[in-house]
A = this chain, B = another copy of it.
Amino acid sequence: MMKCYEMFELKLNGDEPEGSWAEVDLKATFECGDEKRTVKGFYDGDGVYKIRFLPQKTGIYHWKAEGIVQAEGQEECTASKKSHGMVKAVGTHFEYEDGTKYLPFGTTIYAFAHQSENIIEQTMESLSKAPFNKIRHCIFPKHYDYNHNDPKLYPFEKDEEGKWDVHRPCLSYWTHFEDIVTRLGEMGIETDMILFHAYDRWGFAFLSMEECKVYLEYVVRRLAAYPYIWWSMANEYDIMFNHTIEDWYEFERIITEEDPYHHLLSNHNCMKLYDFSRPAVTHCCVQTIAMYKAGEWQKRYQKPVVYDECCYEGDLQHEWGNISGFEMVNRFWSACAMGAYVTHGETFLDENDVLWWAKGGKLKGESPKRIAFLKEILYDLPSYLTPWDEPIWEDFSNATEEKKDGDQEDPFFHLMNSLEGENLEIIQMKSAQFCGCCGDDVFLKYYARQCARVSSIHLPKDKDKKYRIEIIDVWNMTREILIQEASGTTELKLPGKEGIAVLATRI
């Protein structure tokens, strides 16, 4: 049974491959109306070959498999009742293929697939109650502090010399990994699949380019037909010192060429942001705490911005793993208010070394329920937030009345626009405004750590456009109506504490 936006799988019997089990000679075309796609199959053991396909429309699909096994047939593809299709980047936001709203509220469980059954089940249970709809996790196991356990299975078998053989995928590993991806997908959670990373003691970080290519192509054969996966080329690509930047461009090319559906694709940095202007890169995946850059990067790249690491709530020795719950929530609101997205992670010391950020288990932090509160608010908005340059300079209009073309002529603007380097970066940080809007329908201002007791919001002056103004306490998770009906520049009385947002909704 073929369902639109759901993975369809053909199983064909044949002889065991003679050479590589990764690069088997098998592909199939799927045709429906004027759509025709060719996908590669893979060998899944016990004489079974599989070809997976992700149909993106309803109708009759004719398919034809060629290579080591041949077959042909047709299948009616009907509408899915559960899948909205892949998540796609549209402008600076994401949405499902069928147009349904998708706002990524991710979390981080790097070595999810490499834990015991017990922990995996506990993690699934935790996720069922958590707000997260995307998980950054790795194909390769992870070696790092608090991560010294060996996984039961690895992605490859070893050859006679004890070296990983990329031509002999460990089939039970992949089945296990797919099971996790599927279970997450059915919970509405996207897998942001990390293809490479440096935290390794087994050798997966040191595959040759030739081996990397075999591996990547195999991953695409097996996994590209799942609707709920994203390609994350690496966790911290820039500290995989055996790879040059050209290697990453090559990986980008392979994935883009092999993946017929063009799943979301990006690359995660340690210190040096990847070049998000590259055409194959669908969104900006950034590790940084510079939440104030969210608007600038959206404008620069015209792509969605996801803070896929902005430190973790926890109490580790490392500065990246010991921010407070409040600060995590503050970072979420800061970026999300501008229409960017943030990924959660948690690193509380644990007597059994089960830290959520790598292994999953139980959530201990104070941020997830506040992230859920934010998620609900943003999903309730009529559309997607985009950065809002609140016209605060109107306040000075009397002073500069003669200079109608303020941005061009005003020496203050001239000074601001002339800043560069250090001066520019530090003033951006200081004067950050975390504001977003949905056209003229909604305006959101987040005050972050500002403790204003008075403020104002510059709503459209058009008298027909009236707004209800609410005050949101992001930590205590309260919403209160401050003004029932407002328009134009409106004075606000605020509580004078950190973590306050103001939401103006058109009535």
B-contacting residues of A (Cβ < 8 Å)?
238-239, 241, 270-273, 288-290, 293, 311, 314-317, 319-320, 322-324, 327, 349, 411-412, 415-416, 418-419, 421-423, 425-427, 429-433, 449-456, 496-498
Q: A430 touches which one: B319, B454, B498 (CB < 8 A)?
A: B319
User: Closest chain B residue to A395 by CB distance?
Assistant: B317
Check B423–A425 contact: CB distance below 8 A. no
Check B323–A415 contact: CB distance below 8 A. no
Q: A451 touches which one: B239, B322, B423 (CB < 8 A)?
A: B322
Check B415–A272 contact: CB distance below 8 A. yes
Complexed CA–CA distance, A239 and B349 (Å): 49
- 20 A-B pairs besides A239-B415, A289-B429, A317-B454 with CB distance below 8 A are A272-B415, A272-B423, A290-B429, A290-B430, A293-B422, A311-B430, A315-B453, A315-B454, A316-B453, A316-B454, A317-B456, A319-B432, A322-B451, A322-B453, A322-B496, A324-B498, A327-B449, A421-B421, A425-B426, A429-B429
Check A411–B241 contact: CB distance below 8 A. yes
Complexed CA–CA distance, A311 and B496 (Å): 15
Check B455–A317 contact: CB distance below 8 A. yes
11 A–B contacts from the bound complex (CB under 8 Å): A241-B412, A271-B415, A271-B427, A273-B422, A290-B426, A315-B452, A316-B452, A317-B456, A319-B432, A324-B451, A425-B426
Complexed CA–CA distance, A291 and B427 (Å): 13
Check A426–B289 contact: CB distance below 8 A. yes
**Which B residues lie within 8 Å of A412 (CB)?**
239, 241
**Which B residues lie within 8 Å of A238 (CB)?**
415
Complexed CA–CA distance, A498 and B323 (Å): 8
Complexed CA–CA distance, A185 and B454 (Å): 37
Complexed CA–CA distance, A34 and B81 (Å): 98
Check A323–B426 contact: CB distance below 8 A. no
Q: A323 touches which one: B270, B423, B451 (CB < 8 A)?
A: B451
CB distance from A243 to the nearest CB of B (A): 11
**Which B residues lie within 8 Å of A422 (CB)?**
273, 293, 425
Q: A315 touches which one: B239, B320, B349, B451 (CB < 8 A)?
A: B451
Check B454–A288 contact: CB distance below 8 A. no
CB distance from A418 to the nearest CB of B (A): 8
Check B324–A449 contact: CB distance below 8 A. yes
User: Closest chain B residue to A431 by CB distance?
Assistant: B319
CB distance from A325 to the nearest CB of B (A): 9
**Which B residues lie within 8 Å of A416 (CB)?**
271
Check B454–A349 contact: CB distance below 8 A. yes
**Which B residues lie within 8 Å of A273 (CB)?**
422-423
Check A452–B290 contact: CB distance below 8 A. no
Complexed CA–CA distance, A497 and B323 (Å): 9
**Which B residues lie within 8 Å of A327 (CB)?**
449
Q: A272 touches which one: B320, B419, B450 (CB < 8 A)?
A: B419
- For A270, A322, A421, A432, the residue with the greatest tally of chain B CB atoms inside 10 Å of its CB is A322
User: Closest chain B residue to A426 by CB distance?
Assistant: B290
CB distance from A288 to the nearest CB of B (A): 5
Q: A450 touches which one: B293, B319, B415, B456 (CB < 8 A)?
A: B319
Considering the complex of A and B, which 10 residue pairs feature the smallest CB-CB distances, nearest first?
A315-B453, A425-B425, A241-B411, A290-B426, A315-B496, A322-B450, A317-B455, A322-B452, A322-B451, A288-B426
